[in-house]
Amino acid sequence: IKDLNLAAEGRRRTEWAERSMPVLRQLRERFTRERPLAGRRLSACLHVTTETANLAVTLQAGGADVALCASNPLSTQDDVAAHLVRDHGIKVFAIKGEDHATYYSHLRAALEHRPDITMDDGADLVGALHMVALNRLDDLAPPVRQWVETLPAAQRKALVSGVIGSTEETTTGVIRLKAMARDGVLQFPVIAVNDSDTKHLFDNRYGTGQSTLDGILRATNLLIAGSTMVVAGYGWCGRGFALRARGAGANVVVTEIDPLKALEAQMDGYRVAPMAEAARIGDVFVTLTGNVNVIRLEHMRVMKDGAVVANSGHFNVEIDLEGLKQAGQGPTRVREFVEEWRLDGKRIFVLADGRLINLAAAEGH
């Protein structure tokens, strides 16, 4: 973690969040009595936030030996990580802004915990376990691969066979895991938390909708009213954000490849257009799809001077940053979470290096 001295502030903020989590509080009281997870080792790869901290403490109350690593390099709240370590003795491996190598060394630490149960937000932990199971070590990040290569074959097998089950929180992770299940390679059952009605109908729509707008405002301090906001994707996260953006006074344009969802957006009162068309008129662009290269170089070339581009999907792959790096000049940091790129004489502002803006620049929900 970054600094144990931050623990007091982390504790205050975690306790504040807990006031809005009455169901989890009831579960914690029950877990304290029944200890259903006694003797279990649990590794979680999640956003280290106040809400997740309350979850980790509840799991610990149930008897679990909990290890927690970050599921995104920019989403960790360092004071919360310090609080979990100092006040609860939970193993936390997460630092806000950690580099690629550190991120995967922390993932390795969660694997070294040798979990019986895993929890994921993006399927990085389960994905690494399956690369071990399939002996595809070259597909592992170097910090993980180097550790796995030191293990005897029996220990590698036990690392995977010892897992009795997992949970996956987000749309992106569920997509990855369903693909693995279709291919017949999924080694243990995974509960798709994201498929729960209480997750996607409420957390995705209202939570991500609000926190995405919050992240954009904190990063840029832009006036939303009167701007043209292009929302890529009209799933539950996209429709939630579109609703909040319209409520703030934006002219919302939705891009969507699913014709049924596109029709739904139209009937909800939004203008619907392909990205090739929307790219020419948008002031702010936000991707919420879980897909790859939703905003490509060809789109950025026709954007207005000063266009702002952000992502609220789990991975930083929805904006073609590689294409921008090859064709553009930059980046120049202009605010904490804002980088300016020059492309064909125009300025493109990318927020939080294309990582999920609601947790990088704001606090999630």
Q: Could you please report the per-residue DSSP string of 91-149? A: EEE--TT--HHHHHHHHHHHHHT--SEEEESSSHHHHHHHHHHTT-GGGS-HHHHHHHT
User: Whose CA is closest to 69, among 96, 51, 87?
Assistant: 96
In three-state secondary structure terms, 165 is: strand
Mean pLDDT over each residue of the chain, to the nearest integer: 97
Residue 314 clears pLDDT 90, i.e. is over it: no
Once rounded to an integer, what is the mean pLDDT over residues 296-322? Answer: 97
- pLDDT-based confidence at residue 3 (cuts at 50, 70, 90): very high
Q: What sign for the dihedral angle of Cα 274, 261, 354, 183?
A: negative
Inter-residue contact 45 to 121 (CB < 8 Å): yes
Domains parsed from the chain with CATH numbers: 4-195 (3.40.50.1480), 206-360 (3.40.50.720)
Q: Residue 63: exposed, middle, or buried by beta-carbon count in 10 A (0-12, 13-18, 19+)? A: middle
Token pair of 185 as six digits? 């390679």
Quote the pLDDT of residue 213: 98
Residue 179 clears pLDDT 90, i.e. is over it: yes
**In whole angstroms, how large is the CA radius of gyration of the chain?**
21
Once rounded to an integer, what is the mean pLDDT over residues 295-304? Answer: 98
Integer CA distances (angstroms), 47 to 8, 69, 359, in order: 20, 8, 8
Token pair of 298 as six digits? 């060809």
Tally of residues, the chain:
365
Once rounded to an integer, what is the mean pLDDT over residues 250-275? Answer: 98
- pLDDT-based confidence at residue 365 (cuts at 50, 70, 90): confident
Q: What sign for the dihedral angle of Cα 76, 80, 82, 84?
A: negative
Q: What sign for the dihedral angle of Cα 168, 170, 173, 175?
A: positive
Residue 172 clears pLDDT 90, i.e. is over it: no
Place of tokens 């293990």: 151
In the chain, what percentage of residues exceed pLDDT 70?
A: 100
Quote the pLDDT of residue 232: 99
